[in-house]
Structure 1
Amino acid sequence: MTPSVLVVTVTYNSADTIAPFLDSLAGAGRVDEVVVVDNASAEAAEVGAAVSAAGHRFVELDRNAGYGGGVRAGVEAATSDPDYILVANPDVVFAPGAVDALVEAGEQEPGAGSLGPKILEADGSIYPSARRLPSLRTGVAHALFGRIWPANPWTVRYRAERETETRRDAGWLSGACVLVRSTAYRELDGFDPGYFMYFEDVDLGARLGQAGWRNVYVPEAIVTHTGAHSTSGVRRSMEKAHHDSAYRYLSRRYSAWYFAPLRLAIRLGLWGRLWWVSR
């Protein structure tokens, strides 16, 4: 029996990207149901009209539930019981056969809880979407040097930028486009809605690994991420969300009582970095 696929995307002022997303999805492979969730944005009516015209399900939330919360709402609104759940940003364009390639890899890799495609930037460069889990040392070094010295050894190791052409295991896969086995998704109760934006994919990858599942990078499946349209106008608030999510992830990883001084140091360091990058 051919595996079934549910596609969930979360929109926020995404009227200019939803049509290309849906058009490309039509040629990407077998998809049984598509649910589009709008996070109470000003363009909800336009997005809803485009989704309805394409024959898909549209869910308009009465508040901005964040990315993970939006995905959860989409899964809950689905009428099918899929084998796989494909979560993708609305500013993604699928190459022909991309969904089928991910599903085929999932059938070949039964231990894979999540599978991620090769993600191209709008200029054709490869986005490092299959990364190692951030340790404290790597995370601090990446935060300090990632922007001013992109080729520093900690960032290079964390981003695994030189490992883009072969199928391999990763610590986590980018939530911009990731296929999650339904069994694994429900076992872990999906994305943690406590992450408003950012790190929900890191957290999911970590929890999948802890539960014995693998996160598998599948470069034969290709998508293009055209740009973060929904966040481009709110850079400062998104920087804050990124730092808040980083603290949530690291503080939970180092949650023992004796790590209290470390958690304080992480909090102060992130506050300082937030001030620096958004000053």
Structure 2
Amino acid sequence: MPANAITAIVVSHDSAEVLPACLAALAGEGVPTIVVDNASGDDSRVVAAQRGARVIANARNEGYGRGNNIGIATAATPYVLVVNPDLELRPGAAAALLEAAGRYPDAGMLAPRIVEPSGRLFLQPRSLLSPSHLNRSRTMAAPEGDACLPFLSGACLLIRRELFLALGGFDPAIFLFYEDDDLCRRMRDAGQALVHVHEAEAGHGRGRSSTPSPQRRFKTRWHLAWSERYVARKYGLPQPSPVRTLENLAKALGYGLILRREKMFAHAGSAAGALAWGRGETALAREGLTALP
């Protein structure tokens, strides 16, 4: 792998449990890492520093996209590798991604094959932001080699840094969810290919980046509902039906009556995010953040 070609960016928030394996895999690939810590309440910063990562300690939780913007702006290599803390690169993955970037100069972003704990290959066949003719069914066949796809998962992305900065990075108005879809859409609109690299592989824990709790479930579902409406408006797409909000309110009440707290918080969060959007509230205001990270 060429020296000084790539820097990994890992955004952490209460990720101390999964960071050691993630950072060990990056170190094994010879990839220097910047950990952008979003005000963790656990030992994420200490864990990252002990394992040789450069740590940027945010005073507040800036969210996924904004945290990556901070790390990528700090990096000085031609390529950056965005990596979720619950993802582990398999041996040779970083080199395979860089080699593919050389083969495909029109690729703005490249991603490895992402394998879930069950052994299933994770692909993103559909997106709210994709034209209908590019959306695929959930039974789409897995690529048998390198392939151009309409969208790539933000769990692991090799990105040409100058292009990322020229496009404005991840949308700073989004705190969580759809920021990777939005970036993929803008890359494609700019004429850049999105390439799935067969020879690069990574394991992904999906949803293990932070310790789960009912309150965190409420927050994530709030942002999912809000961000869906934000990107729909951004690209002139139909807004979700108000009926969905009523259904989530009813489900939250029903699960509350039978003391199913996890599901109650989840549906309540979805309804609250939708209602907040309707009132004109922003995701940044909810988190006490300003327009720019």
Q: How does 1:99-110 map to 2 (within 5 A)?
A: 99-110=94-105
Contact 1:118–1:164 (CA<8 Å) still a contact in 2? Answer: no
Query: Residues 235 and 35 of structure 1: is their aligned pair in 2 closer, same or farther, counting only changes over 3 Å?
Result: same
**Aligned-partner residue type, residue 186 of structure 1:** L
Partner of 1:38: 37
Corresponding residue to 1:253 among 223, 235, 258:
235
Which residue in 1 is equivalent to 2:267? Answer: 278
**Is 1:178–2:157 an aligned residue pair?**
yes
8 Å contact kept, 2:107–2:192: yes
Pick from 110, 113, 117 the counterpart of residue 108 of structure 2: 113
Letter in 2 for 1:175: G
Q: Does 2:114 correspond to 1:134? A: no
Pair 1:86-2:68 in alignment: no
Counterpart among 167, 175, 179 of residue 188 in structure 1:
167
Q: SS of the residue aligned with 1:107?
A: helix
Say what the alpha-carbon RMSD is for the aligned residues: 2.5
Which range moves more in the overlay, 97-106 or 266-275?
Answer: 266-275
Please state how far the C-alpha of 1:268 moved relative to its aligned partner.
Answer: 2.3
Rate the CA distance shift 1:240–1:161 in 2: closer, same or farther, 3 A: farther
Please, which runs of 5 or more residues in structure 2 have no aligned partner? 252-265, 269-293
- Classify the secondary structure of the residue corresponding to 2:60: coil
CA separation in 1, counterparts of 2:22 and 2:7?
A: 15
- Residue 198 of structure 1 aligns to a residue in which SS? coil
Q: TM-score, normalised by structure 1?
A: 0.81
2:201 is paired with a residue whose SS is strand
Contact 1:39 1:61 in 2 (8 A): yes
What secondary structure, in the 3-state scheme, does the structure 1 residue paired with 2:136 have?
helix
Alignment of 1:13-162 (within 5 A): 13-28=14-29, 30-31=30-31, 33-43=32-42, 46-78=43-75, 81-129=76-124, 131-134=125-128, 157=136, 159=138, 161-162=140-141
Q: Counterpart of 1:164 in 2: which secondary structure?
A: coil
- CA distance in structure 2 between the aligned counterparts of 1:169 and 1:155, rounded to whole angstroms: 11
Q: Tell me how far apart the structure 2 counterparts of residues 4 and 245 of structure 1 sit (CA, whole Å).
A: 33
Higher relative contact order (CA 8 A, sep 6+): 1
For the residue of structure 1 that corresponds to 2:245, the secondary structure is helix
The aligned residue for residue 202 of structure 2 is 223
**1:189–1:26 Cα change, 3 Å:** same
Gaps of 5+ in 1: 139-153, 256-261
Paired positions, count: 249
Identify the residue that residue 149 of structure 1 maps to in structure 2: none
Matches within 5 A, 1:192-203: 192-203=171-182
Q: What is the rounded CA distance, in whole Å, between the counterparts of 2:127 and 2:135 in structure 1? A: 13
CA–CA distance in structure 2, aligned partners of residues 201 and 250 of structure 1: 14
Q: What's the CA shift for 1:155?
A: 11
- Gap change, CA 1:137 and 1:178, over 3 Å in 2: closer
Match of 1:268 among 224, 235, 242: 242
Q: After the TM superposition, which parts of structure 1 deviate over 4 Å for at least 4 consecutive aligned residues?
A: 135-138
Letter in 1 for 2:242: L
Contact 2:130 / 2:150 at 8 angstroms: preserved in 1?
A: no
Residue by residue over 1:23-78, the C-alpha shift from the partner in whole angstroms, topping out at 9 and shown as x without a partner, is 111223x42x31101111201xx222222222221011111111001101112333
- Structure 1 CA distance, aligned partners of 2:169 and 2:67? 11
In 2 relative to 1, CA 191–156 (structure 1 residues): closer, same or farther, beyond 3 Å? closer
| Cα distance between partner residues in 2 of 1:87 and 1:227 | 15
Deviation at residue 9 of structure 1 after TM alignment: 0.7
Q: Contact 1:6–1:86 at 8 Å: present in 2 too?
A: yes
Give TM-score, length-normalised by structure 2. Answer: 0.77
Partner Cα separation in structure 1 for residue 231 and residue 28 of structure 2: 36
Is the contact made by 2:26 and 2:33 (CA closer than 8 Å) also made in structure 1? Answer: no
C-alpha contact (below 8 Å) 1:119/1:126 kept by paired residues: yes
Structure 1 position 196, deviation (Å) = 1.0
